[in-house]
């Protein structure tokens, strides 16, 4: 046993049993997420803006790709995420687009939709779009299941794909003995969290395990991230630490001939990125990193954090109901009715939060968040408090 591991006790055995349960659940979740990522069929097109138009039917947005050679058109429904990206490229305020889709100064729907179509298509036809070499720009349009999920520049790096980079992450976790405890997946983002089945007790009664977290998006909804994480075992809450690896999806300009690259070629050309992922996972599970993180937990347990400072940081990620829940959790911790780290009280008997409690409380809130991007953001905020 490492000197840093928790000593044998009833508490440690309960933590080991709890961790075994989390791994059992995590393995099932990871299997489903891997299958979804591998089975994704993404169709890429490079299209000039002038060969692109939008029509609006009801609240659906249909993007049409024009083939100037034979005047054929192919339409796909545009997701809200892709629409955000289109508005960014065309410099059209998204809030105005939303108003025209829903309601705007009492105008009839047909008028609003005609105005939307004219707005987008005039921008597509007459805007000046240049790539970084100052050539007329094409845009990478990524479709899946008959919907446009992303509208990206030709510099988007497809070699950092979710399935491509997931494999070296999982292989290196397996070499470190780390097992899955959580996996989340939606149309935009994927994350997997693995931990080593080793229990540490940096503070009396606080049992933790160390892990690595993988986050990626195939549609420009965030960078490829490999981070360390701390799992508070008994509550099952996770704090994602500062990223060890962050790769923005930018690379060489995509050529038309690149669109049809075979899977074998994609894997070969992504080897350098895969090697970097492996290196970062090894660093996360290094003895030095674990020792430093244990010390971070000890410090955060002693470090008080004012309520104003905590809510000031949290309000960027939490809605009003979740901020109210955070306050409720503080009172329930004082009463001993919720499984969160112990807190102190001031001279007036009011509960005082420390950074370790705050991280665990945010992790508790994150477990109930369905949206993958928000869930990961809240877990990252939890990790940022451990400083």
Same domain, 164 and 294: yes
- Same domain, yes or no: 230 and 342: no
Q: Residue 280: its pLDDT value, please?
A: 94
Whether 64 is in a domain gets the answer yes
Q: Is the residue at 3 inside a domain?
A: no
Does a structural domain hold residue 322?
yes
Last residue of a domain, one of 298, 322, 343: 298
Helix or strand or coil: residue 286? coil
Q: For residue 1, what pLDDT band results from cuts at 50, 70 and 90?
A: very low
What is the pLDDT of the chain when averaged over all its residues?
Answer: 89
Verify that 172 and 23 share a domain, yes or no.
Answer: yes
The half-sphere exposure of 96 on its side-chain side, counting CA atoms within 13 A, is 9
Q: Which residue has the higher pLDDT, 211 or 64?
A: 211
Percent with pLDDT over 70 in the chain: 96
Question: Which band of pLDDT confidence, cut at 50, 70 and 90, is reported for residue 327?
Answer: very high
Q: What is the pLDDT of residue 73?
A: 66
Is residue 363 within 8 Å of residue 239, measured between CB atoms?
yes
Judgement on whether residues 289 and 187 belong to the same structural domain of the protein? yes
Burial class of residue 15 in the structure, from the number of CB atoms within 10 Å of its CB (0-12 exposed, 13-18 middle, 19+ buried): buried
308 and 294 in one domain? no
Q: Which two tokens stand for residue 303?
A: 């470090």
Q: What pLDDT was estimated at residue 71?
A: 58
Structure tokens at 73: 């058109």
Q: Pseudo-torsion of CA 157, 160, 163, 167, nearest 10°? A: 160
In tens, the pLDDT along 167-208 reads: 999 999 999 999 999 999 988 999 999 999 999 999 999 999
pLDDT at position 189:
92
What is the CA angle 118-120-125, rounded to 5?
90
Residue 217 lies in a domain: yes
Q: How sure is the predictor about 132, in pLDDT bands with cuts at 50, 70 and 90? A: confident
Residues 321-325: contacts with CB within 8 Å, 24+ apart?
Answer: 322/365, 325/365
Tell me what pLDDT residue 70 has.
52
Residue 146 placed within a domain: no
Q: For residue 350, what is the DSSP state?
A: -
120 falls in which pLDDT band (50, 70, 90)? Answer: very high
What is residue 34's three-state secondary structure? helix
Instruction: Calculate the alpha carbon distances from 36 to 50, 162, 163, 186, 373 in Å.
Output: 34, 11, 9, 9, 17
Q: How confident is the model at residue 337 (pLDDT cuts 50, 70, 90)?
A: confident
2 has pLDDT over 70:
no
Query: What is the crossing angle of helices 94-102 and 80-90, to 10°?
Result: 130
The answer on pLDDT for 356 being more than 90 is yes
Tally of structural domains, the chain: 3
Closest CA to 311 of 361, 347, 268: 361
- The answer on pLDDT for 3 being more than 70 is no
Condensed to tens digits (0 to 9), the pLDDT of residues 87-97 reads: 999 999 999 99
Check: CB of residue 156 under 8 Å from CB of residue 251: yes
Q: What is the pLDDT of residue 83?
A: 93
pLDDT at 69 over 80: no
In this structure, the answer to whether residues 34 and 165 fall within a common structural domain is yes
Q: Are 97 and 128 found together in one domain?
A: yes
Residues 276 and 316 in one domain: no
pLDDT tens sequence across 225-244: 999 999 999 999 999 987 77
What is d(CA 233, CA 83) in angstroms, rounded to the nearest whole number? 40
pLDDT tens digits along 241-268: 877 777 788 777 777 777 777 777 788 8
Task: With respect to residue 144, please indicate whether it lies within any of the assigned structural domains.
Answer: no
What long-range pairs does 314-321 form, CB within 8 A, spacing at least 24? 314/362, 314/381, 317/374, 317/377, 317/378, 317/381, 318/365, 318/378
Looking at 104, 137, 170, which one is the last position of a domain?
A: 137
Q: Which two tokens stand for residue 166?
A: 């997931």
Across the range 16-29, mean pLDDT stands at: 96
Q: Is there a domain that residue 319 lies in?
A: yes
Each residue's pLDDT tens digit, 279-325: 999 999 999 999 999 999 999 999 999 999 999 999 989 999 999 99
163 and 292 belong to one structural domain: yes
Q: Domain containing 377: what range? A: 303-384
Q: Is 95 exposed, middle or buried (0-12, 13-18, 19+ CB in 10 A)?
A: exposed
The answer as to whether 143 is a domain residue is no
Kindly state the percentage of the chain with pLDDT values over 90: 64
What pLDDT shows up at residue 249?
81
Do 294 and 309 have their domain in common? no
Domain endpoint, select from 257, 282, 298:
298
Nearest C-alpha neighbor of 89 from the set 153, 30, 147 = 153
Which residues have a Cβ under 8 Å from the Cβ of 198 and sit 6 or more positions away? 2, 5, 209, 210
Q: Beta strand pairing status for 344-345 and 351-352?
A: antiparallel
Between residues 274 and 263, the one the model is more confident about? 274
């Amino acid at each position: 046993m490492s000197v840093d591991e928790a000593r044998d006790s009833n508490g440690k055995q309960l933590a080991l049993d709890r961790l075994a349960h989390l791994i059992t659940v995590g393995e099932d979740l990871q299997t489903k997420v891997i299958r979804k990522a591998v089975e994704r069929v993404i169709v890429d097109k490079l299209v000039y803006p002038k060969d692109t138009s939008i029509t609006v039917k009801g609240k659906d947005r249909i993007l049409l790709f024009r083939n100037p050679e034979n005047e054929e058109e192919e339409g796909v429904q545009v997701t809200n995420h892709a629409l955000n990206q289109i508005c960014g490229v065309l410099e059209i305020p998204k809030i105005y687009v939303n108003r025209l889709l829903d309601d705007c100064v009492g105008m009839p729907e047909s008028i609003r939709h005609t105005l939307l179509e004219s707005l987008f298509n005039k921008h597509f036809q007459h805007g000046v779009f240049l790539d970084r070499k100052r050539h007329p720009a094409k845009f990478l349009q990524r479709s899946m299941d008959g919907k446009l999920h992303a509208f990206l520049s030709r510099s988007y790096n497809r070699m950092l794909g979710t399935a491509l980079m997931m494999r070296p992450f999982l292989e290196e976790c397996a070499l470190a003995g780390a097992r899955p405890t959580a996996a989340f997946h939606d149309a935009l983002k994927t994350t997997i969290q693995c931990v080593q089945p080793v229990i540490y007790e940096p503070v009396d009664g606080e049992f933790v395990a160390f892990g690595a977290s993988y986050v990626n998006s195939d549609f420009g909804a965030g960078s490829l991230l490999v981070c360390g994480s701390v799992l508070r075992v008994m509550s099952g809450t996770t704090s994602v630490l500062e990223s060890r690896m962050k790769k923005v999806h930018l690379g060489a300009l995509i050529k038309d001939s690149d669109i049809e690259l075979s899977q074998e070629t994609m894997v070969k050309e992504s080897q350098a990125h895969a090697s970097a992922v492996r290196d970062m996972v090894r660093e996360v599970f290094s003895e030095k990193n674990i020792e430093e993180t244990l010390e971070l937990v000890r410090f955060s347990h002693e470090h008080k954090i004012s309520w104003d400072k905590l809510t000031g940081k949290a309000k960027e990620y939490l809605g009003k109901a979740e901020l109210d829940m955070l306050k409720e959790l503080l009172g329930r911790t004082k009463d001993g009715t919720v499984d969160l780290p112990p807190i102190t009280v001031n001279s007036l008997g009011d509960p005082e939060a420390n950074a370790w409690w705050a991280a665990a409380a945010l992790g508790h809130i994150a477990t109930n968040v369905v949206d993958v991007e928000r869930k990961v953001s809240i877990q990252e905020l939890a990790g940022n408090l451990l400083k």
